[in-house]
Amino acid sequence: SQQGEEDPQALSIQEGENATMNCSYKTSINNLQWYRQNSGRGLVHLILIRSNEREKHSGRLRVTLDTSKKSSSLLITASRAADTASYFCAAAAGGSYIPTFGRGTSLIVHP
Amino acid sequence: DAGITQSPRHKVTETGTPVTLRCHQTENHRYMYWYRQDPGHGLRLIHYSYGVKDTDKGEVSDGYSVSRSKTEDFLLTLESATSSQTSVYFCAISEGTGEAQPQHFGDGTRLSIL
């Protein structure tokens, strides 16, 4: 069963706009990770946020974690056409070192 | 990029034939994983390894077996391929610590079973 579930399934925006993707999970976690997948390629790790952290930044990426709501969000600011990809969250349940991946959000950024 | 090589990158085979996919890493990471990715299902764990000769089942292990005789190589075998095993297969590696670590992925093997 999916530990992480992304929302929306698909997102289409214009270059320069911000893109927000959400992830909900079912059980308590030790950390949550976000990955990007370009068409025809493997997943690439973006950010890991631990259960005792609320927010984390990496360049144009901002990840938040709300453990009370069992949810996380990934914000990409000032999006670029090169950000077009699928984005996955992966949640590792407490005590497990193997995360479970969601089905992903497909992001299209129009130039 | 993490040194992960999957082979072959593409394969077409017939139902009932055996198929072996290979994952090779140059990072000396302890953990290795095999996933399959299908539309509507996302990424699902098939088997994983936490050391040489140490493997365990994932969410969708039926019909698959694995072997790890060396740190750098993790093999996935379909003993008798079925059409339901048509998928894109990804290998991943991670360092081993108490909590989930970032995984590094290969570029996948696209397997078609006719």
CB-CB neighbors (< 8 A) of B107 in chain A: 40-42
Q: Which has the closest alpha carbon to A4: A71, A61, A63?
A: A71
Contact A6, A105 (CB under 8 A): yes
Put simply, the answer to whether A30 touches B92 (Cβ < 8 Å) is no
The conformation of residue B80, written as its DSSP 8-state character, comes to S
Close Cβ partners of B29 (under 8 Å, ≥ 6 residues apart): B93, B94, B95, B96, B104
Phi-psi region of B91 (alpha: psi -120 to 50; beta: other; left: phi over 0): beta
> Which of helix, strand or coil describes residue B54?
strand
Q: Which has the closest alpha carbon to B7: B103, B113, B108, B85?
A: B108
Distance from CA of B44 to the nearest CA of A (A): 7
Distance from CA of A96 to the nearest CA of B (A): 7
A65-69, B1-5, B59-63, B82-86: lowest mean pLDDT where?
B1-5
Q: Which has the closest alpha carbon to B23: B82, B87, B72?
A: B72
Question: Rounded distance, CA B59 to CA B55, Å?
Answer: 14
CB-CB neighbors (< 8 A) of B33 in chain A: 98
Q: Which has the closest alpha carbon to A102: A70, A77, A80, A78?
A: A70
**pLDDT per position as a tens digit, A49-102:** 999 999 999 999 999 999 999 999 999 999 999 999 999 999 988 777 888 999
Q: What is the pLDDT of residue A46?
A: 97
Complete domains list, chain B, with CATH? 4-113 (2.60.40.10)
**pLDDT per position as a tens digit, B36-77:** 999 888 899 999 999 999 999 999 999 999 999 999 999 999
Q: What is the pLDDT of residue B97?
A: 64
CB-CB neighbors (< 8 A) of A41 in chain B: 107-108
**pLDDT per position as a tens digit, B9-44:** 999 999 999 999 999 999 999 999 999 999 888 899
Task: Tell the CATH superfamily of the A4-110 domain.
Answer: Immunoglobulins (2.60.40.10)
Put simply, the answer to whether B99 touches A92 (Cβ < 8 Å) is yes
Please state the domain extents for chain A: 4-110
Distance from CA of A78 to the nearest CA of B (A): 25
Residue of A nearest to B93 (CA): A98
Cβ-based burial of B23 (10 A; exposed 0-12, middle 13-18, buried ≥19): buried
